[in-house]
Chains A and B, each alone.
Chain A
Amino acid sequence: MARTGRKNPARRVLIWLVAIFAALTAVLGGGVIAGQASWAPKLALDLEGGTQMILAPKVEGTSEINEDQLNQAVAIIRQRVDGSGVAEAEISTQSGRNVVVSLPGTPSKETRALIQASADMNFRPVIAATDGAPVPPESRTKDANLPKPTAKPKDASDINWVTADVYKAFEALDCVNPAQDKQERSDPTKPLVTCEPATDVSPAIKYILGPVEVKGQDITSSSFGPVQGAQGSVTNDWAVNITFNESATKTFRAVTERLNQFYLASQSQGGNDPKAQFAIVLDDQVISAPRSLAVITDGRPQITGNFTEESAKALADQLRYGALPISFDIQSEEQISATLGGEQLRLGLLAGVIGLLLVVVYSLFQYRALGFVTIASLVVAGGLTYLAIAILGWTENYRLSLAGVAGLIVAIGQTADSFIVYFERIRDELREGKGLVSAVENGWKRAKRTVLASKAVNLLAALVLYFVAVGNVRGFAFTLGLTALADLLVVFMFTHPTLQLLARTKFFGEGHRFSGLDPERLGAVPLYRGAGRLRTPTEKPAVVRPRNTGAVAEAERRMTIAERRLAEKQGELSGTSNGSGTSAGSKEGK
């Protein structure tokens, strides 16, 4: 009765473990079938090869950027990169001049644009606008007909800014297939010919813009939210709100007073005069060109029209970063050689395999057949860790770095320690003369505490490192924490139940000499010593109790050194060699 009573819970726990495995595999398999996940864990820069970008801050004029500004730039880029879901991006400064961004894999166009778009932002009035395709060379305006400014421009919207050169550039400009080579940053005091790139909802547009009237760093804040209706009700339209500082408020008021005139004048044609628009220019590209429907006197313009929540947020973010008076160009961008990455991965795995083999050999040597339980437990822990990493790679974009691999290899030892602590406790119980079944139960009760306490230290270390550290250290801490959790799961749900079941087998239960739990070898004092001698009362091993009554009684039951020596001596006298005695006395219930 008692046997089936204890056997079933062990089986049940093992079935639960299989269920967890099946569930994790199903989750990952589902992801793979859906085409979002992959069976192989994602790899980081140093294993996969990857991209490193060096961003050169560009400052208008000659003013040097100071350390504070550079640090601010790094913080902003870090925030942007982290926000884009790229793991293990390393962002550092180089020689106080450049910002280095390392990204695993090849960054998507969006990520690249996000990093690069760090903001040379300003506001220019629109002088002319048309759709983005270039005018075919044969139908371009003849030289004789090109505009010839008759006077000095009197304000930023003045048509006199458009010289023959500007107009030629405007006609030739191709915004549908924009040229990749970046030009020098434009002169804020001169007109600019540029594009608004095509988006999902609008085609590409090209513009002639007047000189800069308001600078991006004059923005004190920007936000987005739903447009308030007439009675303060919330509508479905989204708006972006800008707040200017004091001086820009005055300037912007003057600008909108002028632009609003164009709007009012053209209202008979639907208010479509491009001169009524002011363009928000980021890195010399127009990101938005709203019309000035009203004069803004309080320095708090609101931009509306055709925004989704997403696009409103994107513009508000761009405007906020526009306040930073630094802009970046990707000066060099290089692939970390995939050869080296592959080599590191190969050798890292080789180190892992060698390490694992050494552990296997040592376990078998030390624990005989019990060593197989260690190996099986390590395999189960490894399987759980692999599934977790693959799933996290899919859901959290977690990438395994070389430091992470090292963390996994180091974890082999720390995981195996849980089993060692447990096995040694079982052996201690056997030395007390207990039968294997009760030794497993009692040993587990005491090992459990130790394992929990020590793993808590490991988890604490992993957590602290993960939340405090930067870059590579995080990847390492993550795998360390993950394996500590997997270890706990395995020790509770695999190793212990397995031993409970094994304790009932003949091989282990009778303490076969290769089982690693041979009471004889462990020096347990058998009831019957052969050669017709029964044990003497002083050698009496502890009474097998159904429950562990704790360390208090335990310590008292232990034999003294002298008792042990006496027993040894008697054993020698009786001529029983170490390997030949039966171990009948240690079997429970026989």
Chain B
Amino acid sequence: MSSSFARFGNELYTGKRSYDFVGTKKIWFLIAAVLMAVSILLPVAKGGFNLGIEFRGGSEFTVSNVKTTDASLGEKAVHDVVPGAVPRVANVAGDTMRIQTDKLSDDETLRIKEGLTSAYGVTDNEVTSTFIGPTWGQDVTRQALIGLVVFVGLAAVLMALYFRTWKMSVSALVGMVVTMLITAGVYSASDFEVTPSAIIGFLTVLSYSLYDTVVVFDKIRENTADIGTSTRRTFSGEVNLAVNQTLVRSINTMMVAVLPVAAILFIGAGLLGAGTLRDLSLALFVGILIGTAATIFIAAPLYAWLRQGEPELVKQARKVASRHSAGNASDGEPVTA
């Protein structure tokens, strides 16, 4: 299996096996557009994201090591103190219960805490209570948005300087936007709560998406460095070859990055329940998969498309075409510049 994967890598490297990512770009762009449209429409149709308590504000109790996971006990404990309240009681994982209510006074909180302690048969220090005003989540979001804008701006400049072309920056950023939108769409579809932890996850996806694109683009830069003097392949062909040559790296990196995240996701969702780990890792899990795909299917073909109209590259493409029609590729001696 491993050896066949290595052979797969060999064939991709030499060009024996080649996936035409660039040539079929219209299909990928269309798919991306559809997915993005769905990602935008879905939250709208659902009436917004499922915002966590950090954004809504309210009181939250977490009871660890409960004897029973009967949700009605928690509801009763709340109703005994605040008859009109609408508590959300959930068995978030294993033997942990979470009870969320609207804002409570300190006195109500203490009484509900006592009620929960006796209802679930736990000791005092196994009940955690938190109250969150609605400004905390907004604080985090606003700062995250500022961070996003600053980072994207700086990263665009950095990439443009490193690659010496703004077209790579633009392609990478478009790939990133596609990744972010679709990740947000999946997040909305999953109905997970949007918490500050999820926001952290999104910001990391942002960084991962660009990171992954830079690695692939660096190979493209390398392959197309001598494009003006080579008639072996067209510019788009070289881009496609670079993507194919780095395909094994992309797959390996994606796997290695996604495996620990998957571990967090399943530990977080399965054993710990809602919380930092789960919210963070879902965004990352989806984002890494989409981000890797977006580099291959969107960013690289887009870059080829942005550049192929340049007069020099058009001329080069014509040379390549005439060479291919005049001779044949089979006796293609390396052409020296």
Measured CB to CB, the residues of A under 8 A from B are 46, 52, 54, 90, 92-96, 98, 100, 331-332, 334-340, 343-344, 347-348, 350-352, 354-356, 358-359, 362-363, 365-366, 368, 402-403, 406-407, 409-410, 412-414, 416-417, 420-421, 424, 427-428, 431, 446, 449-450, 453-454, 456-458, 460-462, 464-465, 468-473, 476, 480, 521-523, 550-552, 555-566, 568
Question: Does A339 contact B65, Cβ atoms closer than 8 Å?
Answer: yes
Compute how far the CA of A465 lies from the CA of B57 in the bound complex, rounded to whole angstroms. 24
Compute how far the CA of A368 lies from the CA of B6 in the bound complex, rounded to whole angstroms. 11
B196 smallest CB distance to A (angstroms): 6
Q: Is B64 an interface residue (CB 8 A)?
A: yes
Question: Does B7 contact A413, Cβ atoms closer than 8 Å?
Answer: no
Question: Does A465 contact B230, Cβ atoms closer than 8 Å?
Answer: no
A-contact 0/1 string along B92-115, CB 8 Å cutoff? 000010000001001001100000
Query: Which of B215, B223, B332 is in CB contact (< 8 Å) with A563?
Result: B332
For B133, the chain A residues whose CB sits under 8 A away are: 92-96, 98, 100
Question: Does A472 contact B196, Cβ atoms closer than 8 Å?
Answer: yes
Question: Does A403 contact B155, Cβ atoms closer than 8 Å?
Answer: no
> Given contacts A424-B249, A561-B16, are A464 and B151 in contact (CB under 8 A)?
yes
> Which of B21-29, B183-191, B257-265 binds A?
B257-265
Which residue of the partner chain B has the closest CB to A332? B106
Query: Which of B207, B260, B271 is in CB contact (< 8 Å) with A347?
Result: B271
Query: Which of B2, B15, B261, B271 is in CB contact (< 8 Å) with A366?
Result: B2
Question: Does B260 contact A355, Cβ atoms closer than 8 Å?
Answer: yes
A-contact 0/1 string along B229-272, CB 8 Å cutoff? 11010000000000001101100110111111111100110011
Question: Does B155 contact A460, Cβ atoms closer than 8 Å?
Answer: yes
Question: Does B15 contact A561, Cβ atoms closer than 8 Å?
Answer: yes
Query: Which of A46, A461, A551, A552 is in CB contact (< 8 Å) with B276?
Result: A46
B152 smallest CB distance to A (angstroms): 9
Which residue of the partner chain B has the closest CB to A338? B125
B77 smallest CB distance to A (angstroms): 17
Q: Is B334 an interface residue (CB 8 A)?
A: yes
28 contacts between A and B (CB under 8 A): A94-B132, A96-B133, A334-B129, A337-B62, A337-B127, A339-B65, A339-B126, A344-B277, A347-B271, A354-B267, A359-B259, A365-B1, A410-B257, A413-B261, A416-B253, A417-B215, A431-B14, A464-B150, A468-B150, A469-B144, A473-B147, A473-B203, A480-B207, A523-B7, A556-B334, A560-B332, A561-B18, A564-B16
Question: Does B260 contact A457, Cβ atoms closer than 8 Å?
Answer: no
> Given contacts A98-B133, A555-B232, A564-B14, are A414 and B223 in contact (CB under 8 A)?
no
What secondary structure prevails in chain A residues at the interface with B?
helix
Q: Is B143 an interface residue (CB 8 A)?
A: yes
Give the number of residue pairs across the A-B interface with Cβ within 8 Å: 302
Q: Which of A95, A428, A471, A480 has the most B CB atoms < 10 Å from its CB?
A: A95
Q: Is B181 an interface residue (CB 8 A)?
A: no
Compute how far the CA of A313 lies from the CA of B226 in the bound complex, rounded to whole angstroms. 66
A-contact 0/1 string along B298-333, CB 8 Å cutoff? 000000000000000000000000000000011110
Q: Is B131 an interface residue (CB 8 A)?
A: yes
Query: Which of A54, A363, A470, A564 is in CB contact (< 8 Å) with B106?
Result: A54
B329 smallest CB distance to A (angstroms): 5
A481 smallest CB distance to B (angstroms): 10
Compute how far the CA of A128 lies from the CA of B105 in the bound complex, rounded to whole angstroms. 41
> Given contacts A351-B268, A421-B215, are A470 and B139 in contact (CB under 8 A)?
yes
Question: Does B281 contact A362, Cβ atoms closer than 8 Å?
Answer: no
For A339, the chain B residues whose CB sits under 8 A away are: 64-65, 125-126
Question: Does B207 contact A461, Cβ atoms closer than 8 Å?
Answer: yes
Measured CB to CB, the residues of B under 8 A from A are 1-3, 5-7, 9-11, 13-16, 18, 57, 62, 64-65, 96, 103, 106, 109-110, 125-133, 135-136, 139-140, 143-144, 146-147, 150-151, 154-155, 158-159, 162, 196-197, 199-200, 203-204, 206-208, 210-211, 214-215, 218-219, 222-223, 225-226, 229-230, 232, 245-246, 248-249, 252-253, 255-264, 267-268, 271-272, 275-277, 280-281, 284, 288, 329-332, 334-337
Which residue of the partner chain B has the closest CB to A70? B135
Question: Does A362 contact B255, Cβ atoms closer than 8 Å?
Answer: yes
B23 smallest CB distance to A (angstroms): 15
A329 smallest CB distance to B (angstroms): 11
Question: Does A362 contact B16, Cβ atoms closer than 8 Å?
Answer: no
Which residue of the partner chain B has the closest CB to A465? B147
For A462, the chain B residues whose CB sits under 8 A away are: 207
Question: Does B226 contact A552, Cβ atoms closer than 8 Å?
Answer: yes
Question: Does B334 contact A90, Cβ atoms closer than 8 Å?
Answer: no
Compute how far the CA of A179 lies from the CA of B131 in the bound complex, rounded to whole angstroms. 29
Which residue of the partner chain A has the closest CB to B9? A427
Compute how far the CA of A222 lies from the CA of B267 in the bound complex, rounded to whole angstroms. 54
For B154, the chain A residues whose CB sits under 8 A away are: 460, 464
For B130, the chain A residues whose CB sits under 8 A away are: 52, 336
Q: Which of A464, A471, A556, A559 has the most B CB atoms < 10 Å from its CB?
A: A464
> Given contacts A339-B65, A343-B272, A565-B16, are A355 and B261 in contact (CB under 8 A)?
yes
